[in-house]
Each structure stands twice: as C-alpha cells, then as structure tokens.
Structure 1
Amino acid sequence: MDESKPGTSIEIIDEINTENELTNKFLSGEMSFADYSTEWFDYEDEDDVETNRRIVDESRQSNLIAEKGVIRRRKATRLTPALLGLMGEANLRFARGDKETAERMCQEIIKQIPTSAEPYQTLAQIYENDPEKSLQFSLLAAHLSPSDPNEWLRLAAISKERGDIKQEMMCYTQAIKADPHNLEIHLKRLQVLDYLEEAKYPLNSFNVSHVKCYHKIATSLPASEADTVMKYARLGVTIYHNSNEIERALDLMGAVYKKCPAAFNIEDLNILLELLISRKQYQTCLEVFVASAGVTIEAEIQTVKNSKGDIEEQTNYIKCCMPNDLQIDLKSKLLICFIYLGATDLIPSLLNDFLSNEVEKAGDLYMDIEEALTAMGYHDLAMQLLEPLVKNTSFDLGAVWLKHADCLHNLGQDDDAIQSYNKVLTHAPQHPEARKKLYNILLKKGQISEAVNALQQDYRYAISMELLYQQLCVLKEHNKSLKYMEIGQALLCKTFVQFRHPEELAISYSQKNPKNSVEHINNFRSVRGESLYLPNEIHFDEDETFKLTPQQEWELFKELLEIAFKNKKFFTMQRLTAGAITSKSLYPHRAEIEFLCFQSCLLNKDYENAIRLVKEFAQKYPNTRTWNLLGFLVNTVDEGKHARYIIRLFQKDNLAVKNIFLGNNFLTTGRYIVAFKHFLEYHNHNPKEPFSALMVGICLLVMASQRTMSKYQNLILQGMSYLLLYQKLRNCDQEAYYNLGRAYQMLSINNLAIEYYEKALAAGPIAVCSQHGVMDLTRETAYNLYILYKEQSPQMARKYLNKYLVI
C-alpha cells in the first residue's frame, strides 16, 4: 500500500487519534461544541451561496484528507455487526439499570468508531441527571446523525436557556439543513438574528446573516409558497444590490425564477433582466422576455465560417414583436440585448420605436442604450440618442457631454468634439479624462499651446496626479522650464509639505525623520489655531491610485532645483529642499538633501537656518570644509550668540583647527585678548606656520590701536616683529608686502606703507591657476596707494588710478 496517499493505514491511525483528541477536548470542556464542529466537521453555514451550490446527501461519504490545512469531512458512521451487538447489549444493560457497564460499552464503541451517533445517544440518557454532560452527548449524537430537525430544535431551546447564543444559532442552522422546507425554523433563526442586532451583538462572529437567511428561505421553500418565496427573494436581492454583490443577487433571482416564474411581477422581471444584462447573459434575457413579457422573436440558425476558418452556428434574429403595453424599461433592455447580440436588422426599427418616447421621462434609458451602441461600435446610431439628450436642459450634464464628445471623435468630427469636450470642462472643470482626450485631439491638430492649456487643472478643486504628471511630460518635451517648475512643485505637493510660515521651514530642518517633521508641523499649526488643510492649498483626488516612484520623485526634485537655480528662484529652492526632507520616499537621499538645503539657505540669505544645518554638519563631518562653512556663517551673522556653541564644539577636541577657528571668531567679535591667546597658542605649537604669525601680529597691532591700552609702543614693536616673521616664513612676496603695507597704513606710518605697497606692485602675482585664473593683489595695492596720495599728492594718486584701476 502506498503510504504517501490519503486513506493509508498511517493516515487512518492519525485520523482516529485526531478524532479522540477533539472529542476528549469537547467532553472535558476545553472547547465549545461550535469550535468542535468547525474543527472536525467543517461547520459552515449552508446559507452561503457557494455552499448551496454543492449540497450533498448526508449519507454520502467523503474521504478524510489528513494533509495540514485541508478541511476534514464526515466519514461513514455505520457500526460493524460486532459493534452493533455490543451497542444492543449496552442499551439492555442501561434498561436494566446497570449504567456503569452500559457506559463502559459505549466508551469502547466510541474508541473504535468516534463518529457513530448511537453510543452518544445512550450516554446522553445515562447522564440525564447531569444536564451539562447530557447536553454534550446529545449535541455529539445530533451532529453525527443530523437528520432529525426536532432534536436540533430541542437542543436549540436548551442552548437558549443556558444563554449560549452561538450554539443556539448553530442548532437552528442544523435544523434547517434537516428540514429546509419548514418556514417556522427559518423564522426562529431570523428572530435570533433580530434580537442580536438590537442588542448590538457582533454578528460577524457568526457565519450567518439576514441576507443569507433570506436567500435560504427563498431557495428552500416549494413553489406552492410563491408569495413567501418572492417576499424574501426581494429582501435578499435588495441587500445584495446595495452591497454590490451582483453575482449572488443573480443566483438568487435566477433560482427563484426557475421555481415560480408566474409569481414575478414587472418590477421583479426588470430586476432579473438588469442582473442578467450586467453579467452579459443576453440570450437568457431573450428567453425571459419570450416566457414572461409576451415578446415574440423569430430567428434562424445560420452556418458560417469564423475568423479562424472553422464552421460554427450563428443565430440571425429576423423579427421581434412586443406588446403595446410593454413598459419602456423592458423595451430598453430588450433593445440592449439585441444590440449586444448583433441583431443589425432589428436594431434600427427598435431604436426608432424607442426614440418616440420623451427624453424628459426616459433620459436615463437613453444613456443605457447609447452605452451599448457605443460598446458595439454603432456610433452613428448612438448619436441619434445623444443629440436629443444634450439639447434637453435636464440632461445638460458633464457626463452626457462627455459621451457626446467621444461619439463625435469616434465619428471623425474632431472640431465638433472639441466644442463638446469644452462643454464637459464647463460642467466639470477637473474632469481628467476629458482633458486628456481634448489634449490628444488638439495635439493631433498641431495646436500645441491650446493642447498644453487643456491639461491645466484648477487648483481650487481636487486635482488628478496622473493628469498633472502628463502635463509635466508635455512641458518638458516643449522646453517650457518655468511652467515646468510650477507644475512640478504642484506634483510634489503630494509627498512634500506645503509650507505656510518660515518657522515651518525651521521645523523641517530640525527633524531627523520625515514622519516626525510632518507631525511637528501639524502640531505647530494646531497651536496657532490653523486647520491642517486649507482650502487654497493643493488637494489631490484620494481615489486615484497613480503615484510617482521614489526614483521619479528624486529625478523630478533635482530637475526643479536646477531650474530654480538657473532662474535665481532661491526662495523656491529653499521650499523645495525643505519639502524634500519631509518626503518618506526621498529618505535614502537624506544626506544629499541636507546639503542642498544648506546651499539654498545660503543663496536665499537665510543665515539662521543655514547655521542650524551647518552645526549638524560639524557633528557629522568634522573636516576643513565644514569649519570653513561654519566660520563664514558665524562671521556673516552680526550677533555673537554662537560663541558659546563654538566653545562647546571644540571643548573636548584637540584639533589643529581649534585655535585658529576660535581665534578668528573672537577677533571678529572684538575680543582681541582672547583671540591673541588662541593664535599665540597655535603659533607656539606650529612656529613655522606663517598664518599664525600674521594673526598674532594683527591682534597685537589691533590692541595697540585701542586708546585704553597702556605701553602700546611695546605692542607695536611685538606686532611688527611677528609680521616680519610672517614675511620670512611666507614664500610669496606680493602677499607679504601687501600685508606689511596694510599694517603700516593702519599705524599711520605712511612712508613705510608706501614703500611696501611699491614693492608689492613690483612683485609678480600670488599664483596662476588654469582652473581659477590669476590670483593678484595689484588692484588692491594700487587703490590703497591712491588713498594715501589722494590728499597730499593728487597727481600721484591719479597716476595709480589711471594705470591700475581704469577698466
């Protein structure tokens, strides 16, 4: 025997073990009867439509599939002759009062065949003095032999007394399975549902609902109870229709129609036909028309070759006669069926008959027929319906004009179609489909500007992101950069914060996580008493599924930033970069975005936020470039409030740049003694560094120029000595001479200043670079000489002016 297949000896042993385990759990109270039946016998409410389709006889047996995850089914419950004899002996022992022996015999039978009902029935009688045990055995017996509805009703009553609602509901369901034609049982189950609904009990814990009960009643009762059947069928179809369960609604109405077609009134037929049409069962619709609506149809079967060359039969509809009093709703549905069935000989005459009805009363039906004609490519016939509609004030609607425009376009009348599409936009300015189609027609006609304008949406309404992206692609193709930047910013508003205040920019810079940025900005708006979403901000269509990929968003962001930079839109750059920080999809580019934020702040002269960002850079990237940026910003801002931060920044770090940076900062803030201390400390550690010698000399000279400083002559001598040391260490004559000239000019020793300036003019440039050009101090030197000579010797001043400073 192949032990890998279901039904082998190993699997049978597993089944028996599983049976015993589940039964013992139920009898010991570890699981409820509802859980037991669900676990073992696949308890599922038969009212489910899918289950209704596969009802099988209770006596039929199905193989137990032991594979994990596959639902188990009932097995055969017949006892063997030996066990039948044992069961009879047990009943005799119980009748004689020997309950213990009878119980042992029943337990032995259960061990061998756990799914046999007889031992559980006897055990229920044995434990009649123990209501709990008796109920458990009765439930098992009824479940294993479920054909007695009265037993299930008895158990339902006991469950109700015990307050076990779920078990009571299951008992009624099993009773209905046993006797589906009993309306009283159906109504009792509905009463339980009504009670639970009023008590606001969570009905989703049951596999049963009102609509399933209605469905079961309508499909179970015989045709003799047609009124009751139709009552519950209508209730069920209404619920199905409201929940858009069209397939189930059709199953219900179709089953009821087969059972009692004579009970269908006009409204019922209308619903059935509508459901059939929605599922494209047009041939069935014609059968219903002939059987129940008094319609006669003549047709012939023709043998034709299909596109593949195969012979097939085709129905050719020749004639159709309708009763004079046939309702217009049914007429329209009949016409729709013939349209989809391709009855080209009948459609014109039936359409003319329908057009005799007033548009005011049958406008919606006009639309249904037009949809069918358009779907089958009969655009000329569809136009016969659309023209009366658009001329009627009651149907002067955007949806009608859209169909009119589409029909004109399909007929090749593009000029008229343009006018109709504009009518659509008059009624629905944000209609994306109309704008797309209008754009394509205008583009095809070569009207580029008009085509681009057709894609422009009104930001006062919810806008289509897909249409916005299409407009962006068109603008890029035609190189309209400024408009491209405007539309691109609107598109990025989907994931970027739309900033309202400068403070919100600062909040976005300060947060490390995009989610935190959005939360803090929303909290800031709440504190200000503002709404999270303002009417004048861009809102997107929430039902739209289109969105940019992270890579598309990143590329678009960089393009917009480049356009803004080229057009010197620095504030736009700052808003874009700050918005990028709040985007979750751009989080992988966080480091690059932060530096772009810093650059945009510099360009927009927002130095406060720039300092905030460069402080973060100082922690993350402690290098020369960072110190230069930090030093530039600290010197740019007039206030000295960042001095403490700088001290803390270098408090623990023994960096070579520490003394230079601090010295320069204190020098620019007027704290010359502290600056001198840092420059001197750096110079003592680097005695051959010309820059430190220059800065020490400058500090000494600046201190000497203060009126409150005593013995300033010594400071001047010391300062000049450091400058001369700087000249010696600095291997660049023009720069050294120029700086010495500046020092003497500051001390008003003009003769020496002139001497060194002349030497600087005579020296060559500082450096010549292929990338940065010539670095030369000639003009600066000449200008200083002009200043020195201007008062005492105008001719000499003019000489330097004409020679070096005239362009």
Structure 2
Amino acid sequence: MFPYLYKSWKNLLLLLAEKSSISKHRTRKTLTKMLSVNQKKNKRKLRKYTSKLPVYLQGLMGEANLRCARGDLDTSKKMCFEVIRQAPDAYEPYLTLSQMYETTNTKKYKGYLMLASHCAPNNISIYCRLAEVFLQEGNVLEAARCYSRAVRFEPKNTSLHKRRLELFEQNGDTKIIPIVKLTMAKHIPKKEHELILALSMDVAKDYFNQKNYARSIEALRIPLTRIPKHITKDLINMILELLLICGRYSECLDIFTQVCGFTFDVTITEENNLIVNSFIMPENLQVDLKMKFIICLIRLCSTSLIPDLINGILLEDDVEAVGDLYLDVIEALTQSGYPEEALKLLVPLVKSKNFSLAAVWLKYAECLTMCQMPEQAIEAYFTVMALAPSHVEVLYPLAMLLLRQNKRKEALEVLSQDLSTNKIDVAVLLEQMKLLKQINDWASYWRCVELLLSRHCIVLKNSEELKIAITRYTSREKITKIRAMRNFRGDNTDVETNFVSIKEPSVEDEYQIYMGILQLALDRREYSVFQKFAFMGLCSETVSKIFRDLVLKYPNNNLGWNWFAMMVMTPEDIRYVRFLEFFQMKHTKIAEIRGIMTANYELTTGNYTSA
C-alpha cells in the first residue's frame, strides 16, 4: 500500500508541474529535498515512538488500556500478560501494568517501569517517571542517573539537563558536576548562549582553583566554538591567562587573531619556534588584553618588539590605574632575561601612591641586583624591611649583597636577633645559619645550631650529661636527672629554655633541618659536634615524634628504626607498646623489630641469662 501511495504522490506532483510553468527538473529537485527532509523526520519519530507490537496485538493492547481506564484491572492484567507472552520486548504492556500499581504498590510500579525503560530506552517520559519514584524513596543518585539516560536520547532538551544537574548537586557529587555542566554546555541550543557561557565559566573557574589548567581551557573552548559572537571580555581574559600559564603561546596568537582582531607576520624557525616579526594591533584595545599580548611576545622572545612595547606602556597607560597589570609584565620580563626593561616599569611603580608596597620594592631590589646595581639594591632591600619587618626572605639576599660590598659586620647585624626578648624567629635564625655557612664562620654556625635545637632539646654540657641522654629513661626523666646533676655541681643554668618560637617549621621541615645539621657535622669530621647534637636529639620529645612519623611513613627504613629504638629504650612504656601492637597489624616485619628492641633493652639493663 505505502509504495503505491508514494508513487501516486510523486506522479501527481510531476503531472502538476507539466501543466504549470515549473520545470520537471526543478520539481524533481524539490521533491527529492522534501523526501529527504521527511525521511529524516520520520527516522527521528521512529526512534522516539516506534512500537515493537505486531499489528495483530495492537488491538489487544488497546483493549487492555481501555479496561484499565474503566477499572477492570484483572482483565487488563490478563491481556497485558498475553501481549508480553507473544511480544516480550514491547514496552506498552509493562507501562500499562506499572500504571495499575502507581498508587497501591510502589515496588511493583517501579519494577514494571524499569522493564518498560529497558524495552523502550528512547522513551524519555518513562525515565522521568522512574526518576520521580527514586526521589520518593530518597535515592537521589539513581534519579539523577535516570535523567542521564534521558539526556542521552534528547541531548538538546534543556529541562532534562537542568533537572539532572540539580539532582547531582543535591547529591553532592563534586567530581561529576563539572562533567554534567560541560555536557549541558555542549548540547543545549545555541540560542541559550547566556547559559552556555555561565556553565563554561563556572567549570573553568573550578578547574582553575584546582590548578587543572588544561581542563579549564577545554571548558572555555566550548563557548568559543559554539557561540563566538556572544563571548565576553572576562572569558577572553581568562583563556589567555590560562594559555600563558601553560606556555601555549601560539594558541594565544590564535585568540588574538580570531577574537581580538590582531594581524601578525610570523616566522617558524627550524627548531619549530615561533617568532613574531611585526603586528597590527586594533584600536581601542582593552588595557588588560594589551598587557597579555605583551607578555605573550615576551615569552616568545620577540626581542626587537619589546622595547617599543614597554615605552608604549609608559606613555599610554596610567600607572596608578593599571599598576597591577605592570607586575605581570615585570614578572615575564625578569623570568625571560630582560631585567633592564623590567626596571623601566618598576621605577614608576615604586614612586606611585597606590603601588609603593613591600612586594613591589622587593621585586625592584631583585631587578636592581640582576642589573648589577648593588648600592641601589641594598637601599631597596632596606626599604622592604622597613615596610614589612616580618618579610624574612629578604634578609639573606641583603646580607649577601653587603658581603660583596665588604660589609661583613653589617651583613651579620642584618641577620642577628635580640634574645633578651626570649623570642626566637626560626626563619631568621635559619637565614643566619645559611650566611655563616657561606662565610665559613663555623664556631658561630654551631652556636646558632645549638640555639635552634634548644627549642626542644636539652643543651648538653659535659660527658656525664651525654651519658644520661643515652639511658633508657624518658625525656622527662632525663631532664630531671640532668637538673639534679647541675644543682649538685652548683650550676644554675636552666635545663630547658623558655624561648618563644616564631614561625615554627613543619615536622617534615624540622626533620630535614636536623638531619642536614648532623650530615654537615659528619662531612666536616667534627665528630664531637655530631655526638653532641645527636645525643641532644635523644632528649627531645619533638625528635621522638619525628622518628615515630618516619617509621610510620617508611616502615622498611632500618636507620629510622634504630633511631626510634634509641629514643624509646623502654619496652614497658605503654604508649610505645600500643603503638607497636597497632603497627604490627599492618606490617608483619614489626614483630621481628619489636623482638630486637626488647633484646636490646635486656642487654643494656643486664636482664639476660647466658645459654
């Protein structure tokens, strides 16, 4: 029947064309176009609404639906089961059965809906119903997955995307939410350009905060590709900043060309390096985009263009308004080996009202040092110290500059501390140790080390105190015994210092500092110094914690276990017994280590019997 109708329709159009002024060729062309469009529409409709029911069962299914509507549920069920028997892959009987249990039996209602969804995976309404059932049960994740299946068959349905995103946000699945947003931005109609832009920017900012710059760029590529006429200045700035961070400078030039209206004359070297020979910049370009363009050229080492660009910045832009953008250009210039050009921008910055800050002066001092201007650099460093006294990172480079000017006394004064305040700035002390090591003043260096360790160690004075340090007593007991020994000798020196530490390092940093000190003493063959500082560590609860953390992180480190055993020396101590018992559950080697530690204890105390 259908082929006959098709031919009749075609012949009718041709007949009409012959009796009119329309040419046959044009009619055939129009007919072919109409047919192709209709076939596409039919395919789309078939994909959505095609029934797998044979013709002879459609009447029975219709009757089942009618009986269900009239309330004759038993007869309707029998009819549905008969349809299922003959056509088990048709979704209609399962859908009708689910409707019978919608208000009476949620479990069966959900079960039949799931069967219907498997038989008709392209029926969006079934997934939406199923999602509502899961929501009533409180299963938000499964409801969101239902909408994910629906989106797969109707990717341009904005309402489905929104509902899915809402459910994933309600479930708190932070890993999948960016993926859902990007899928939405890729598929919803272009007329919703504001939503596409908002979704892409939101995801890009999240990835940027996670320092996942490549993913952030991919997110911003979506609106650039889909809605290039609606992209904003913020998006352009953000993608350029990300491309600069990732070193993708050729892609920056593409953005400047396609979006900002630049024109370039470039050369590609044999090493595949890109060199910009000349360019034409559009008029009235925003200053932040101009600065990013300058940074891009600096990174591409377009040496011949840089001086004119820097002079242009100084002439055209107000430093009080865009000084923060100056800093980005300065950073690029110093890192790329153009300190003289950076200095041109730094001079107006340090003279300005809004940007004459410690961080800017520090950059100015570093730039002066790179330009071989030590006297001016020293003055700049002192200005940094005046503006930000807590900025200790400036002390060491300042002291080194003073040393190069043969001002050793001034260099040491810069890094000295007033201990009468009972405060130790650990960061300053470490910088002082670095300087003393640099000038080979080892006596002063070891005194600084002793001061550094005194924060948590006993400063041992003689061999008797060293012997107490290696005994099996706890740290508190060792302190008590050393205090008693000093009182007996008439020594009123405090065993424990009362310094307040400022800028305490982390446990990991403290361990690295301590081990570096011991290694340096060993390398210099100053064994008495090595012994003193090693034994001081045996009296420290902080060092004990360090080595406990060390064996936890590296259970196969024998040296760490040796140190830990020296720190403990007391198998009866309940804290360490429990620690070893708990650790033994994860690492079988600990049982052997625990036995060795116990044997060592018996040997040191003499509580053993010979074989």
Identify the match of residue 340 of structure 1 among 299, 310, 331: 299
Alignment check: 8 A CA contact 1:409 1:417 kept? yes
* C-alpha separation in 1, matches of 2:150 and 2:601: 79
Structure 2: where are the runs of 5+ without partners? Answer: 1-50, 65-77, 461-468, 480-496, 548-559, 570-599
Question: How far apart are 1:328 and its partner, in Å?
Answer: 1.5
Please say if 1:163 is aligned against 2:138. Answer: yes
1:140-151 to 2 correspondence within 5 Å? 142=117, 146-151=121-126
Please say if 1:489 is aligned against 2:451. Answer: yes
Amino acid at match of 2:374: D
* C-alpha separation in 1, matches of 2:219 and 2:282: 27
The equivalent of 1:175 in structure 2 is 150
Q: Structure 1 residues 131, 565: closer, same or farther in 2, change over 3 A?
A: closer
* C-alpha separation in 2, matches of 1:164 and 1:236: 26
Question: How far apart are 1:472 and its partner, in Å?
Answer: 6.3
The equivalent of 1:284 in structure 2 is 251
Alignment check: 8 A CA contact 2:458 2:540 kept? yes
Q: Structure 1 residues 582, 462: closer, same or farther in 2, change over 3 A?
A: closer
Question: How far apart are 1:579 and its partner, in Å?
Answer: 2.8
Identify the match of residue 254 of structure 1 among 221, 229, 235: 221
Q: Structure 1 residues 292, 497: closer, same or farther in 2, change over 3 A?
A: farther
Question: How far apart are 1:354 and its partner, in Å?
Answer: 1.3
SS of the residue corresponding to residue 228 of structure 1 reads: helix
Structure with greater Cα Rg:
1
Identify the match of residue 578 of structure 1 among 522, 539, 562: 539
Q: Deviations over 1:427-475 (max 9, x none)?
A: 3445454334334444555555555555557856562786466356447
The equivalent of 1:203 in structure 2 is 172
SS of the residue corresponding to residue 342 of structure 1 reads: coil
Query: Percent of pairs identical after alignment?
Result: 23
* C-alpha separation in 2, matches of 1:516 and 1:358: 68
The equivalent of 2:441 in structure 1 is 478
Alignment check: 8 A CA contact 1:373 1:382 kept? yes
Identify the match of residue 367 of structure 2 among 384, 407, 422: 407
Q: Deviations over 1:682-709 (max 9, x none)?
A: xxxxxxxxxxxxxxxxxxxxxxxxxxxx
Q: Structure 1 residues 591, 171: closer, same or farther in 2, change over 3 A?
A: closer
The equivalent of 1:330 in structure 2 is 289
1:14-413 to 2 correspondence within 5 Å? 97=78, 118=89, 129=101, 131-136=106-111, 138-139=113-114, 142=117, 146-192=121-167, 196=170, 203-204=172-173, 208-209=176-177, 211-293=178-260, 295-301=261-267, 304-306=269-271, 314-323=274-283, 325-356=284-315, 357-413=317-373
Alignment check: 8 A CA contact 1:430 1:463 kept? no
Amino acid at match of 1:167: E
* C-alpha separation in 2, matches of 1:226 and 1:579: 64
Amino acid at match of 1:271: M
* C-alpha separation in 1, matches of 2:514 and 2:57: 77
1:541-560 to 2 correspondence within 5 Å? 541-542=505-506, 545=509, 547-548=511-512, 551-552=515-516
Alignment check: 8 A CA contact 2:398 2:411 kept? yes
Alignment check: 8 A CA contact 1:320 1:346 kept? no
Question: How far apart are 1:399 and its partner, in Å?
Answer: 1.9
The equivalent of 1:9 in structure 2 is none
SS of the residue corresponding to residue 442 of structure 2 reads: coil
Alignment check: 8 A CA contact 2:182 2:199 kept? yes
Alignment check: 8 A CA contact 1:298 1:320 kept? yes
Q: Higher helix share goes to which structure?
A: 2
Alignment check: 8 A CA contact 2:396 2:432 kept? no
The equivalent of 2:11 in structure 1 is none
* C-alpha separation in 2, matches of 1:124 and 1:272: 49
Question: How far apart are 1:389 and its partner, in Å?
Answer: 1.3
Question: How far apart are 1:275 and its partner, in Å?
Answer: 2.6
SS of the residue corresponding to residue 278 of structure 2 reads: strand
Which stretch shows the higher mean deviation, 161-170 or 331-340? 161-170
Alignment check: 8 A CA contact 1:363 1:395 kept? yes
* C-alpha separation in 1, matches of 2:412 and 2:242: 43
1:669-708 to 2 correspondence within 5 Å? none
Identify the match of residue 376 of structure 2 among 387, 392, 416: 416
Q: Deviations over 1:56-110 (max 9, x none)?
A: xxxxxxxxxxxxxxxxxxxxxxxxxxxx99x97997999694777877889xx9x
Question: How far apart are 1:238 and its partner, in Å?
Answer: 4.1
* C-alpha separation in 2, matches of 1:267 and 1:380: 32
Question: How far apart are 1:126 and its partner, in Å?
Answer: 5.9
Structure 1: where are the runs of 5+ without partners? Answer: 1-83, 110-117, 197-201, 307-311, 500-507, 519-532, 567-571, 596-616, 627-807
Q: Structure 1 residues 379, 165: closer, same or farther in 2, change over 3 A?
A: same
Alignment check: 8 A CA contact 1:270 1:330 kept? yes
Q: Structure 1 residues 99, 583: closer, same or farther in 2, change over 3 A?
A: same
Alignment check: 8 A CA contact 1:290 1:296 kept? yes
Question: How far apart are 1:279 and its partner, in Å?
Answer: 2.4
1:748-767 to 2 correspondence within 5 Å? none
Alignment check: 8 A CA contact 1:464 1:544 kept? no
Question: How far apart are 1:371 and its partner, in Å?
Answer: 1.0
How many pairs does the alignment contain?
Answer: 467
Q: Structure 1 residues 415, 131: closer, same or farther in 2, change over 3 A?
A: same
The equivalent of 2:5 in structure 1 is none
Amino acid at match of 1:297: T
* C-alpha separation in 2, matches of 1:433 and 1:168: 55
Alignment check: 8 A CA contact 1:250 1:276 kept? yes
* C-alpha separation in 1, matches of 2:254 and 2:380: 40
Higher RCO, 1 or 2 (CA under 8 Å, sep at least 6)?
2
SS of the residue corresponding to residue 394 of structure 1 reads: coil
Alignment check: 8 A CA contact 2:470 2:566 kept? no
Alignment check: 8 A CA contact 2:537 2:543 kept? no
TM-score in terms of structure 2 length:
0.62
- Over aligned residue pairs, what C-alpha RMSD do you find? 5.0
* C-alpha separation in 2, matches of 1:561 and 1:486: 18
Alignment check: 8 A CA contact 1:485 1:564 kept? no
The equivalent of 2:24 in structure 1 is none
Question: How far apart are 1:365 and its partner, in Å?
Answer: 0.7
1:444-455 to 2 correspondence within 5 Å? 444=404, 447-455=407-415
The equivalent of 1:64 in structure 2 is none
Alignment check: 8 A CA contact 2:141 2:167 kept? no
Q: Structure 1 residues 333, 543: closer, same or farther in 2, change over 3 A?
A: farther
* C-alpha separation in 2, matches of 1:421 and 1:516: 48
Q: Deviations over 1:647-698 (max 9, x none)?
A: xxxxxxxxxxxxxxxxxxxxxxxxxxxxxxxxxxxxxxxxxxxxxxxxxxxx
Question: How far apart are 1:353 and its partner, in Å?
Answer: 1.8
Amino acid at match of 1:173: S
SS of the residue corresponding to residue 223 of structure 1 reads: coil
* C-alpha separation in 2, matches of 1:105 and 1:516: 89
TM-score in terms of structure 1 length:
0.48
Alignment check: 8 A CA contact 1:120 1:137 kept? no
Q: Structure 1 residues 583, 314: closer, same or farther in 2, change over 3 A?
A: closer
* C-alpha separation in 1, matches of 2:143 and 2:516: 59
* C-alpha separation in 1, matches of 2:112 and 2:416: 75
Q: Deviations over 1:117-149 (max 9, x none)?
A: x37886666676464245245436636864433
* C-alpha separation in 2, matches of 1:350 and 1:538: 45
Question: How far apart are 1:191 and its partner, in Å?
Answer: 4.0
* C-alpha separation in 1, matches of 2:518 and 2:274: 57
